């Protein structure tokens, strides 16, 4: 290791260990990065130090990951694919794709909502998993009979940057399911309200119930045809019965074709 | 799928092949989760960090230059950085951490990580850390697993900043001499195809 390079010789050898450990203060970080631009000797020392630091990642024992993690990753991959510009034409490429995305999303969110804190709950969860698998089959059948269905990603605003989710729409039965996670916890007296949007017109579609993990879902069966709306919006309101949105918008989705 | 090495998987991920990302997940989720949990001590947050890390690879695979390091090293670096970000951002949060032992290992996802290689590297790292003077080991662990700056390490240990710098430098130098020089390199992964 090129540890002999010393700071007082114009090099930054005494800071390189802290540099690769991200342990420098901003001023020193800037000093080191500026120096590294023109010093092959210190660049080589950084590479050597990093090789040692990279191995620290192997110190902890590998740990088993809950099975839901794999389901959730699949759901996120589908959601990500749905939100790319290529997939922007609302309908997913194939009905099969939509089926997989919808079932995976519902199952993943449902799995994620399970909270395990005791052995008794492990057993309860296993029963819930079986129930959810059945629910997935039911959903598959539900979706299979509705070839007009489609999924749209929900986009968050700066007020809730961690929020993500989607809305499954079935124009045939005029029903939709909003699923979202990553919503900040609200103070008492405030609620998330879902709005159906048609230009400047906002229809209160109901309060989105959100659990303490920031996840919520709302089944919509509006009186008016879904096809008359261009999108949905989710805002924070102080009154659940508000007739128009007054609070901070946290997420939105386009649903019009 | 299992036959593809990490480099081939990354190339497929760059083409947005979801199966390839899932294969990479199956290969390294336990390793990544172990690291995130060691840093965070919270199984749920650790799971989020690992998810985000794999999604980051999904989104940036096309622009990753393999000459900068192996896929595995890249993944673990992302996991470590995100876990530290989480850790540093949640100081003072109310105690709602979930102990890993209470999270169903019965429902563990499959993991095709090469246990033997992992064990060799982990035991080599542990042996090297044990060989370090304790004060050097503590300084490195505080920086790596807790994300402390060297000023914060000095405050935590009530020692001069210069002492922290030299402990980090000497500790890292010794780690390098013990681990990297003999050839137990992170780039030696059998699955990496390098």
Average pLDDT over residues A228-241: 82
pLDDT at site A159: 80
Substitution target from A8, A58, A80, A107 for chain B, most B beta carbons within 10 A: A58
Please, which pLDDT band fits residue A108 given cuts at 50, 70 and 90? low
3-state secondary structure chain B: CCCCCHHHHHHHHHCCCHHHHHHHHHHHHHHHHHHHHHHHCCHHHHHHHHHHHHHHHHHHHHHCCHHHCCHHHHHHHHHHHHHHHHHHHCCCCCCCCCCHHHCCHHHECCCCCCHHHHHHHHHHHHHHHHHCCHHHHHHHHHHHHHCCCHHHHHHHHCCCHHHHHHHHHHHHHHHHHHHHCCCCCHHHCHHHCC
pLDDT at site A150: 65
Whether A35 contacts A7, CB under 8 Å: no
Q: How many whole angstroms separate alpha carbon A100 and alpha carbon A90?
A: 16
Residues 6+ apart with CB under 8 A from A253: A152, A153, A154, A155, A166, A167, A231, A232
Residues 6+ apart with CB under 8 A from B179: A52, A55, B124, B125, B128, B185
pLDDT at site B176: 85
- A118: which 2 tokens? 């005791």
Higher model confidence: residue A58 or residue A12? A58
Average pLDDT over residues B37-59: 91
Judged by a CB distance cut-off of 8 A, whether residue A4 touches chain B is no
pLDDT at site B181: 64
pLDDT at site B189: 39
pLDDT for residue A33 is more than 90: no
Chain B's closest residue to A29, CA to CA, is B149
Q: Over the Cα atoms of chain A, what is R_g?
A: 25
CB contacts of B55 in chain A (<8 Å) are 73, 76-77, 80
Write the pLDDT tens digit of every residue in A131-146.
545 545 555 554 555 5
The architecture CATH gives domain B121-194: Orthogonal Bundle (1.10)
**In chain B, % of residues over pLDDT 70:** 75
Average pLDDT over residues B128-149: 92
pLDDT at site B190: 36
pLDDT for residue B55 is more than 50: yes
Whether A46 contacts A69, CB under 8 Å: no
- Distance, in angstroms, between B107 CA and closest chain A CA? 5
Q: How many whole angstroms separate alpha carbon A15 and alpha carbon A11?
A: 9
Judged by a CB distance cut-off of 8 A, whether residue B77 touches chain A is yes
pLDDT at site B39: 95
- Distance, in angstroms, between B61 CA and closest chain A CA? 14
Whether A219 contacts A175, CB under 8 Å: yes
Please, which pLDDT band fits residue B13 given cuts at 50, 70 and 90? very high
pLDDT at site B98: 42
Kindly list the domain boundaries of chain B, sorted by start residue. Answer: 1-108, 121-194
**In chain A, % of residues over pLDDT 70:** 65
**Minimum mean pLDDT range among A3-7, A104-108, B131-135:** A3-7
**Minimum mean pLDDT range among A12-21, B4-13, B28-37, B101-110:** B101-110
Kindly list the domain boundaries of chain A, sorted by start residue. Answer: 8-54, 64-145, 150-254
Q: How many whole angstroms separate alpha carbon A17 and alpha carbon A23?
A: 8
CB pair distance less than 8 Å for A17 and B111: no
- Distance, in angstroms, between B163 CA and closest chain A CA? 11
Average pLDDT over residues A159-175: 78
Higher model confidence: residue A238 or residue B157? B157
pLDDT for residue B151 is more than 90: yes
pLDDT for residue B57 is more than 50: yes
Residue B151: count of CB within 10 angstroms of its CB: 15
pLDDT for residue B127 is more than 80: yes
**Minimum mean pLDDT range among A141-150, A161-170, B34-43, B174-183:** A141-150
Q: Is the dihedral of CA B89, B94, B99, B100 positive or negative?
A: negative
pLDDT for residue B193 is more than 50: no
Whether A177 contacts A253, CB under 8 Å: no
Interface of B with A in 111-140 (CB under 8 A): 111, 113, 115, 118, 121-122, 124-126, 128-129, 140
- A110: which 2 tokens? 């449902």
Highest mean pLDDT, choosing among A172-186, A224-238, B11-25, B88-102: B11-25
CB contacts of A24 in chain B (<8 Å) are 149-150
Average pLDDT over residues B168-189: 71
Highest mean pLDDT, choosing among A69-78, A114-123, B29-38: B29-38
Question: For the structural domain made of A150-254, what CATH number should be given?
Answer: 2.60.40.200
pLDDT for residue B2 is more than 70: no
Please, which pLDDT band fits residue A200 given cuts at 50, 70 and 90? confident
Category of A232 on φ-ψ map: left (φ > 0), alpha (ψ -120 to 50) or beta: beta
Cα dihedral B7, B9, B12, B16 in deg (nearest 10): -120
> Fold match between B1-108 and B121-194?
no
Q: What is the ipTM of this complex?
A: 0.80
**In chain B, % of residues over pLDDT 90:** 40
pLDDT at site A127: 62
- Distance, in angstroms, between A77 CA and closest chain B CA? 7
pLDDT at site A137: 55
pLDDT for residue A103 is more than 60: no
- A19: which 2 tokens? 């540099």
Distances (CA, A) of B44 to A109, B33, B85, B183: 14, 10, 15, 35
**In chain A, % of residues over pLDDT 90:** 1
pTM for this one? 0.56
pLDDT at site A243: 77
Average pLDDT over residues A27-33: 88
Question: For the structural domain made of B1-108, what CATH number should be given?
Answer: 1.10.1740.10
pLDDT at site B75: 92
**Among A252, A121, A130, A118, which residue's Cα sits nearest to residue A192?**
A252
- Distance, in angstroms, between B63 CA and closest chain A CA? 17
pLDDT at site B79: 93
- B144: which 2 tokens? 């790596």
CB contacts of A13 in chain B (<8 Å) are 169
CB-nearest to A70 from B109, B166, B177 is B109
Across all residues in chain B, what is the average pLDDT? 78
Average pLDDT over residues B3-22: 89
3-state secondary structure chain A: CCCCCCHHHCCCHHHHHHHHCCCCCHHHHHHHHHHHHCCHHHHHHHHHHHHHHHHHHHCCCCCCCECHHHHHHHHHHHHHHHHCHHHCCCCCCCHHHHHHHHHHHHHHHHHHHCCCCCHHHHHHHHHHHHHHHHHHHHHHHHHHCCCCCEEEEEEECCCCCCCEEEEEEECCCCEEEEEEECCCCCCCCCEEEEEEEECCEEEEEEEECECCCCCEEEEECCCCCHHHCCEEEEEEECCCCCCCCCCCEEEEEECCC
């Amino acid at each position: 290791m090129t540890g002999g390079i010393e700071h007082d010789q114009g090099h930054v050898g005494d800071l390189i260990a802290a540099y690769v450990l991200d342990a420098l203060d901003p001023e020193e970080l800037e000093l080191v990065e500026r120096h590294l631009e023109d010093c092959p000797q210190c660049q080589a020392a950084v590479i050597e130090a990093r090789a040692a630091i990279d191995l620290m990642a192997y110190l902890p024992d590998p740990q088993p990951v809950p099975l839901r993690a794999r389901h959730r990753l699949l759901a996120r991959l589908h959601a990500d694919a749905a939100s790319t510009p290529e997939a922007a034409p609302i309908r997913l490429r194939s009905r099969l794709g939509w089926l997989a995305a919808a079932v995976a999303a519902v199952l993943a969110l449902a799995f994620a909502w399970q909270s395990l804190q005791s052995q008794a709950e492990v057993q309860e969860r296993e029963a819930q998993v079986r129930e959810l698998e059945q629910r997935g089959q039911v959903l598959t059948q539900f979706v299979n009979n509705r070839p007009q269905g489609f999924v749209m990603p929900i986009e968050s605003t700066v007020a809730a940057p961690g929020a993500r989710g989607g809305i499954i729409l079935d124009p045939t039965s005029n029903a939709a399911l909003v699923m979202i996670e990553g919503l900040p916890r609200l103070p008492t007296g405030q609620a998330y309200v879902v709005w159906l949007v048609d230009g400047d017109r906002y229809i209160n579609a109901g309060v989105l119930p959100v659990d303490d993990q920031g996840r919520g879902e709302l089944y919509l069966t509006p009186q008016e045809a879904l096809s008359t709306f261009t999108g949905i919006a989710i805002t924070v309101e102080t009154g659940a019965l508000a007739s128009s949105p007054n609070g901070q918008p946290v997420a939105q989705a386009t649903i019009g074709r | 799928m299992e036959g593809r090495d990490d480099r081939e998987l990354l190339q497929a991920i760059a083409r947005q092949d979801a199966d390839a990302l899932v294969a990479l997940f199956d290969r390294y989720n336990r390793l990544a989760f172990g690291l995130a949990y060691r840093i965070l001590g919270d199984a749920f947050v650790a799971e989020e960090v690992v998810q985000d890390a794999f999604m980051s690879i999904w989104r940036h695979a096309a622009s990753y230059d393999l000459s900068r390091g192996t896929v595995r090293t890249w993944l673990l670096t992302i996991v470590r950085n995100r876990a530290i970000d989480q850790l540093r951002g949640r100081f003072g949060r109310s105690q709602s951490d979930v102990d890993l032992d209470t999270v169903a290992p019965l429902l563990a996802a499959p993991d095709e990580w090469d246990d033997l290689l992992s064990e060799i590297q982990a035991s080599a790292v542990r042996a090297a850390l044990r060989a370090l003077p304790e004060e050097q080991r503590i300084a490195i662990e505080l920086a790596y697993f807790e994300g402390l700056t060297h000023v914060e390490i000095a405050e935590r240990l009530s020692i001069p900043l210069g002492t922290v710098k030299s402990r980090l430098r000497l500790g890292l130098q010794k780690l390098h001499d013990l681990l990297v020089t003999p050839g137990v390199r992170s780039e030696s992964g059998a699955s990496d195809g390098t």
